Structure 1
């Protein structure tokens, strides 16, 4: 059994066709048999100096069996097994071992992650794991957290780094089917409480191939570099890539990146010396690296072979521009950035631009866009509203834009909700039948001509993403979350557009840390974090600039502005704004002590 060949996964028409029996585990077993002594994963630990740890495919195989044998003692086939551990190679082994044992992995995080205890509590109560995998360093915190959960029977806790390799001899081989659930991927909670998406082995295999083909990662000398959390869908995909073609991924912790973003850049450069490197991150990471991670002039950093996936809703062109400007002197090619669209329910990946293309903006008339119509304008038009292209839809996936109220597909150039169908779409939400029915059982009324559903199985349901988007010239553009849209004066206003205006209005505002929403139906509220070093700036002047800018650019009256300290606005574990939580905090008086000036009378 040799390494998986991409050509064996394609039908004569070029569509993806998974070979029989291909699962995450079978992919790893192929690598063990073919390149067992090669490095599978590398971890850069910056806790005290720099310590590099590596695990080969052979070593990973042994760890999977050893940990899996202990899992089998406390959990059966199809039982959930949660991973509550810090970033590292033990997390990788625990995740794959839970699946190898025949259980359903639930990748979560250790309770030490600040500000996200409620998300962890919600996920654990929903998944009801039969076992928890952790490490010695996190065990006390994990047991304390589980013990404090009222009305919850704490499952056995296994410390994976204390399980000896010799335990592998007790492992009982378990058959795994391509349609078995591999893991539960909990959503970030940007617009609602987290839910666990049931991801099957077919979903995983299909999506990894979709990414590899779309981003042209066919070279087996392509490696990954990632600091993304391993409980996040994008982070899991970064450890999924090597399973397909026997490569490797270099990992570090999110904290290591945040404290010194140059570490990420240097790791990318090191990878470029051996071949091509792929990484992925949301908007803020590229902005942060451009601000704080630029090497000194003349540094031995070369980014010539890097592919940069940027996947946020929506993608920020200013983040791309800032990073391009900062790192062009270090060989970064103009085609490095790949703006992409994805979500947990699609395993991850939905679309991206072609390998040879550069990231591009489309500017539309803001007034017409608020009515759902896409009318292109010049970039310097006073009503220009910019959108980054997320490119072309992955193979074996269908993506339509529909009227969310009727399910009727909309023609190109019309804004609507994005619906999806394909083998990478998860099976539903764990133990959430009603939410599964609403989200995964969409009934499409396709266009009679030029439908983006052409070729899709007519008897299958569609997944309602809750994201708004549109097509122009065959490319998908993502406009934001339907639940976040501000409805005022008979038009839709997109919060990220309003938030950009607020950040442009005054240097007192921390760019990317603004939340705009409505209360009482028609009152527009802005909560903005202060930028570093602006503690003595006059808040009244800043707030007046904000109100004036929003009135001039959007024709909207801002009823309340709150300037709050850095870190005050809630964010998901992947760094996305949680506007609904910010709105709740506002209504509960959390920001009542923030800088505020009386609003002028609303125009009548």
Structure 2
């Protein structure tokens, strides 16, 4: 389940030419283009301030409204670094978005029937944006995926295509060869038609026949990242997507037209995909680039943020690792004129670390970055995306909890210097018209604040279920609370007989704010005690500079299944897989292993049955960048992760 508590982990030239070009382009705020009636979040609230989408409202309703009222204002701008290090800005106005989307939708109407799946297998770019909207506009179900040449994900792509069985692949002329190769792997009777988005002339738009879309129809399938199981397609309805966009806008206070977005997140990922939805809802503007452009030169993100900050408020999401990477490799050159005074940064998709936030804030405070800029947040694909964030005026904060009590399910505060202290960052308050309760997964009863349990969600933003997975849908989306707290219930206002979605995440409420403590399926249970893998991984990272922080996986296996062992018992035993840090390829592993063993024994009271030091890129990750601990465990048990230490 991709979750916002944060992305793919996938240094240089400045962007002076881009900044100069950006500074002279037309104002992108929609009202600057002569809009008479700008879209507003308030248009979709009832008299009590609740989000209430009228029947018949769809994602295309939002899109068409922006197209109608924003006209020649810039909608989407893609920074292409394929041929130029400084980036080439290519853009579409709202009017052009309308024409191109209708043209592609008209072509789809010629070869599909309503409800068929249309997969977008295109590189990051403007074609992806219009292709996604066109699939929905045509009455199909969009399937946002990645181009087949994305390395390391062929098995995942094949599984998704087999599950969703799309009838059309939307791609680009440049990527069509790779897509055609993918098509040839599919049995002939089910082979999709391949359509190159950029080869459809705008004139085809004249043949488009508008489709009536119901608010509760499926708009698209968002496939989970597969951190704990096979990816499954979450059925995201127009109501769920529209509600969640409004929830984000209201929670982060983005409800005016001087807000625009900057993103480098892949558009097939839920965070990246929702960023293209923001402008459609309120007539805004998005500047985006490819993930690889960011990873190769992290300064590109900073320069794009600075350019936007000079024009107004700019919002940009990123996973926690990005803040660490930019603080290390993305600092501006001396004398560069960088302005981050109007920036809002959503930190999510993986566990948020207070040290990462502090490091980034300190590195960029000289460039006007407010201490309130970074917003730790929580979310997941099954909730469309967004669940909670801290208040607009709040700074990111952490609490320190006692490790021993955590293992027993209790959140007990200690001082930061306590030897058993574990830091957890607040993910703030749950969005309007959404409910999150902490539940005992065995009794299904709501737990009081301070007690750790599974997070259950309810709201119109929750997905309808998993595509073609009846049993999994029932288990995840069809749950009923057995009891609520008589006082202080976080389910207050939700229907008594409402259905709740089990997240599989562990969390706790403290002072009304939500903290994420881990994943149920990742818990390490040894001798009856619970241990959080990320806590053990942090200890291992701190034990030696020869291991790569953030690229360590801790998990348990039965003792008799450890490769090369002579033990015959099935007692759960701890295993740690750690990637070597840059420059540590020739370091003697024995002192590193001993340092990790000693640190884990001292801090957690655990013996480590096996430690493997592996090369960079060995520890598997999901498409959203989270550690795939179960996949790592499978590789380990199959003997594919080096020799025992």
TM-score (norm 2): 0.91
Q: Is the 8 A contact 2:225 2:623 kept in 1?
A: yes
Choose from 233, 236, 244 the match for 2:281. 244
Q: Distance in 2 between matches of 1:147 and 1:129?
A: 14
Q: Is the 8 A contact 2:614 2:642 kept in 1?
A: no
Q: Aligned ranges for residues 114-263 of structure 1 at < 5 Å?
A: 114-149=151-186, 153-263=190-300
Task: Give how far 1:150 is off.
Answer: 5.6
1:38 alignment counterpart: 73
Q: Aligned ranges for residues 11-410 of structure 1 at < 5 Å?
A: 11-49=46-84, 50-149=87-186, 153-410=190-447
Q: Is the 8 A contact 1:287 1:322 kept in 2?
A: yes
Choose from 575, 596, 602 the match for 1:552. 602
1:506 alignment counterpart: 544
Figure out how many residues of one structure are paired with residues of the other and give that number: 595
1:527 alignment counterpart: 577
Does 1:592 pair with 2:642? yes
Q: Aligned ranges for residues 449-468 of structure 1 at < 5 Å?
A: 449-468=487-506
1:585 aligns to what SS in structure 2?
Answer: helix
2:568 alignment counterpart: none
- Please say which of residues 25-34 and 142-151 is displaced more in the overlay: 142-151
Choose from 627, 630, 633 the match for 1:580. 630
Q: Is the 8 A contact 2:305 2:340 kept in 1?
A: yes
1:477 aligns to what SS in structure 2?
Answer: strand
Q: 1:477-498: CA deviations, max 9, x gaps?
A: 0011111111112221111111
Q: Distance in 2 between matches of 1:330 and 1:193?
A: 43
Q: 1:270-318: CA deviations, max 9, x gaps?
A: 0001100000011111111111111123211111110010113421222
1:601 alignment counterpart: none
1:332 aligns to what SS in structure 2?
Answer: coil
Q: Is the 8 A contact 1:317 1:361 kept in 2?
A: yes
2:531 alignment counterpart: 493
Q: Distance in 2 between matches of 1:489 and 1:473?
A: 32
2:133 aligns to what SS in structure 1?
Answer: helix
Q: Is the 8 A contact 1:64 1:94 kept in 2?
A: yes
Structure with bigger RCO (C-alpha 8 Å, 6+ apart): 2
Q: Is the 8 A contact 1:313 1:478 kept in 2?
A: no
1:469 aligns to what SS in structure 2?
Answer: strand
Task: Give how far 1:48 is off.
Answer: 0.8
Question: Structure 1 residues 388 and 151, CA, compared in 2 at 3 Å: closer, same or farther?
Answer: farther
Task: Give how far 1:523 is off.
Answer: 1.2
1:136 aligns to what SS in structure 2?
Answer: coil
1:236 aligns to what SS in structure 2?
Answer: helix
2:481 alignment counterpart: 444
Q: Distance in 2 between matches of 1:25 and 1:327?
A: 39
Question: Structure 1 residues 490 and 380, CA, compared in 2 at 3 Å: closer, same or farther?
Answer: same
Q: Is the 8 A contact 1:313 1:479 kept in 2?
A: no
In structure 2, runs of 5+ residues without a counterpart are 1-35, 559-570
Q: Is the 8 A contact 1:543 1:561 kept in 2?
A: yes
Q: Distance in 2 between matches of 1:510 and 1:583?
A: 18
- Please say which of residues 6-15 and 231-240 is displaced more in the overlay: 6-15
1:137 aligns to what SS in structure 2?
Answer: coil
Choose from 442, 466, 477 the match for 1:429. 466
Q: 1:180-211: CA deviations, max 9, x gaps?
A: 11100001111111100000111111101100
Task: Give how far 1:404 is off.
Answer: 0.9
TM-score (norm 1): 0.97
Q: Distance in 2 between matches of 1:543 and 1:270?
A: 46
Q: Is the 8 A contact 1:125 1:152 kept in 2?
A: no
1:565 alignment counterpart: 615
Task: Give how far 1:553 is off.
Answer: 0.5
1:542 alignment counterpart: 592
Q: Is the 8 A contact 1:279 1:307 kept in 2?
A: yes
Q: Distance in 2 between matches of 1:255 and 1:96?
A: 24
Q: Distance in 1 between matches of 2:67 and 2:185?
A: 41
1:302 aligns to what SS in structure 2?
Answer: coil
2:31 alignment counterpart: none
Q: Is the 8 A contact 1:84 1:110 kept in 2?
A: yes
Query: Which stretches of structure 1, 4 residues or longer, exceed 6 Å deviation after superposition?
Result: none
- Please say which of residues 91-100 and 520-529 is displaced more in the overlay: 520-529
Q: Distance in 1 between matches of 2:254 and 2:213?
A: 27
Question: Structure 1 residues 77 and 500, CA, compared in 2 at 3 Å: closer, same or farther?
Answer: same
Task: Give how far 1:22 is off.
Answer: 2.4
Q: 1:70-125: CA deviations, max 9, x gaps?
A: 11122111111000010000000000000000000000011111111111111111
1:250 aligns to what SS in structure 2?
Answer: strand
Task: Give how far 1:457 is off.
Answer: 1.1
Question: Structure 1 residues 436 and 152, CA, compared in 2 at 3 Å: closer, same or farther?
Answer: farther
